[in-house]
A and B are shown apart, each in its own frame.
Chain A
Amino acid sequence: MPECLRTGFWPHTFDGLTLGSIYAMIALGYTMVYGVLQLINFAHSEVFMIGTFAGVWMLRLYGIHSPVSGIELPLMIAAIMVPSMAISGAAAVALERVAYRPLRRRGAPRLAFLITAIGASIFLSNLFFIRIPIVGWTLGGAAPVQYPELIHRTALFTAFGYQISNKQVLVVVTMLLMYMFLDRFVMRTRAGKALRAVAEDPEAAALMGVPIDRVIVTTFLLGGIMAGAAGSLYGLFFGQAQFNIGFIPGIKAFTAAVLGGIGNIRGALLGGLLLGLVENLGVTCTSTAWQDVIAFGILVAVLMFRPTGIMGERVRA
């Protein structure tokens, strides 16, 4: 083991898993939309960004300025995350309605979808940047919006000589819960079966009476909910919301989805955690300036040598 890894191995492993959990939650949205529509939804990173803002709005709405503790804390976290998930979910559904559905109706080529996705992404992120004329009011602004501190960071327990904080546990546990909920939904419910059928073969599914439009809306909604959870957690963890905050985590999450095998829900989870780990351990051996280059390097390497990812694509190519 190289020297740089020996000293910082466990702390960076835990930090990597925490960040990887966020990537995994965003990656689930990319992977599900890809599974159903074969579309890279570039604007998904903006759905995540909206989630970070929704978290701040909720904290302001409740008038919270100082950390809370006891039983109040989990209730408060839920009271922040659930509306954030709803707002992000609504944004994702609106995106599908306004931007993608007209193209689907027309049977537009893939290039048109990609350009629309890029345009929607730029539009949404700048919507949180500009000052709306006349009213002079802004959704976000140029500077980052600070989260009031809700959770006082404390060490919950010690593992391998490294103190695990309550925030880290919150992120990882929430991610696992969300993933279990999603997995049950896709594998056990009627709507989940319809979703899998459309991913497998949209035409055959339509002929069997599966309502394609409703399935697609469900897919965007689920992806948006996941991104909203990830966004508000990211905000609670790092304490910021900003108009361009979605870009880097969005790219990383997409890399994670490809790494795990795009279209594959379990793959997204695995890919997210793995990417978080590799990136954090890689940074210890180089410097944070190269952190993003590591992720892009992994993306290019995976696409070149194993484009189906670790777990393989569950849907057709």
Chain B
Amino acid sequence: MRERLARFQATKKGRASLVVVAAIVVLLLPHGFNDHWRAVFVDALAFSLLALGLNVVVGFAGLLDLGYIAFFAIGNYAFAIPTAGSYSKGLFLEGGLHLPPAPHWHDWMWLLLLGAIVAAMLAGIILGAPTLRLRGDYLAIVTLGFGEMVRIVARNLDSVTIGSRGITAIPHPQIPYAPGHRYLFGLAPVGYYYVMLLLVILMVGIITRLNDSRVGRAWHAIREDELAAASMGVPTVRMKLLAFAIGASTAGAAGMLTAARVNYVSPDSFTLLQSILVLAAVVLGGMGSIRGSILGASAIIIVPEFIRSRSPSFQDYRFLIFGAILVIMMIFRPQGLIPSKRRAIELTGAVAMPGAGVTEGPEAAHALGETDDGAS
């Protein structure tokens, strides 16, 4: 069965039909479930976006970023502060600024999305420019420190972020689709689902193209041997900075949409554990594998939610299991569930078999049919 599926997928027609089936499933998915599960699917897409972004940093460029959630936080605040500022400040801060009503920011959803992307990207460049010269393990700890600093600053900067109470009453965005008509995103998750899906597909397209281009080969070279890459003329710092900026801006986009949907932002949702959860998604799916990141992220959001709906006490064991997953994957299957062919050979170490990536084909195809959104 598996073999036949693999052979089917290898033909052009087979690939196309699988993509079509996956696309239909993904497009119709919200209609078979209630709002609770729709919200879970939106979260899974947001998380896929985060995993795709982190995959560029960790999987492609080989840089361990342990403060990745900070960029998601910046995306959240980049939407929350200008839009909800007037309400929250007036309501919650004694002697608040009582700003005039916000200039209908919520009409400008695309502009605000762009703003969040740019803000997160700038933060990525500001963090990356001085630190990307560091050795890999130092970079990990500096990014961890950065992530914690963003959270602590958000908690202490009462006048801007309303501290640990968080910003509430963030307005739902609207999209004008015809003169005089606009689509208002309410609390219902369906609208966000399709916007998020669009972003995921867009992102998959961008990073697939990038990875197959000169940039992708430069990342590959840096990951394998930075010194050799530099001496061959690869601008290592600039390429690493590019990976960092792409990762950060993806997280910013996911953050903006999440703030808009949940309409509440609190610094306590951006802990180190969240960064590690994204990392677990990338590792589980397969570092350097685009389909793997989406599968890993969806699994990490949907599976625990499914188990939780059966046994509520499961929540407590989540991080124990994710910690164990990281260790076990690194020992037994470092290339992840859907390995990237390039990375599999590196990650299994010096004794890896050259064909290791190829034999995984059937499994990859198997997973594609069930979970991928078809943009491969």
Which A residues form the contact surface with B (CB < 8 A)? 38-40, 98-99, 102-103, 106-112, 114-116, 118-124, 126-127, 129-131, 247, 251, 254, 258, 289-290, 292-293, 296-297, 299-300, 303-304, 307, 317
Do A303 and B138 have beta carbons less than 8 Å apart? yes
Write the chain B residue with the least CB distance to A286.
B156
Contacts of A98 in B (CB 8 A): 327
B235 within 8 A of A: no
A145 → chain B closest CB, angstroms: 17
Do A106 and B156 have beta carbons less than 8 Å apart? no
B263 within 8 A of A: no
B305 within 8 A of A: no
How far does the alpha carbon of A150 sit from the alpha carbon of B207 in the complex, in Å? Answer: 59
Do A109 and B145 have beta carbons less than 8 Å apart? no
Do A118 and B316 have beta carbons less than 8 Å apart? no
Contacts of B287 in A (CB 8 A): 111
How far does the alpha carbon of A106 sit from the alpha carbon of B135 in the complex, in Å? Answer: 22
| Given known A115-B279, A296-B145, contact A106–B348 (CB-CB < 8 A) | yes
Do B137 and A299 have beta carbons less than 8 Å apart? no
Do B152 and A292 have beta carbons less than 8 Å apart? yes
* Category for how many chain B residues contact A: 35 or more
Residue interface bits B310-337, CB-to-A below 8 A is 1, else 0:
0000001101101111110011001000
Do B144 and A119 have beta carbons less than 8 Å apart? no
The number of residue pairs between A and B whose CB atoms lie closer than 8 Å in the complex comes to 130
How far does the alpha carbon of A26 sit from the alpha carbon of B327 in the complex, in Å? Answer: 23
Contacts of A107 in B (CB 8 A): 349-351
Can you list 19 contacts pairing A with B, beta carbon distance less than 8 Å? A40-B141, A107-B349, A107-B351, A112-B347, A114-B64, A114-B136, A115-B64, A119-B324, A120-B326, A121-B323, A124-B323, A129-B319, A130-B316, A292-B148, A292-B152, A297-B149, A300-B146, A307-B135, A307-B138
Write the chain A residue with the least CB distance to B334.
A112
B142 within 8 A of A: yes
One of B142, B152, B327 near A120 (C-beta < 8 A): B327
How far does the alpha carbon of A64 sit from the alpha carbon of B259 in the complex, in Å? Answer: 51
Do B131 and A304 have beta carbons less than 8 Å apart? yes
Contacts of A300 in B (CB 8 A): 131, 142, 145-146
A316 → chain B closest CB, angstroms: 12
Do A303 and B142 have beta carbons less than 8 Å apart? yes
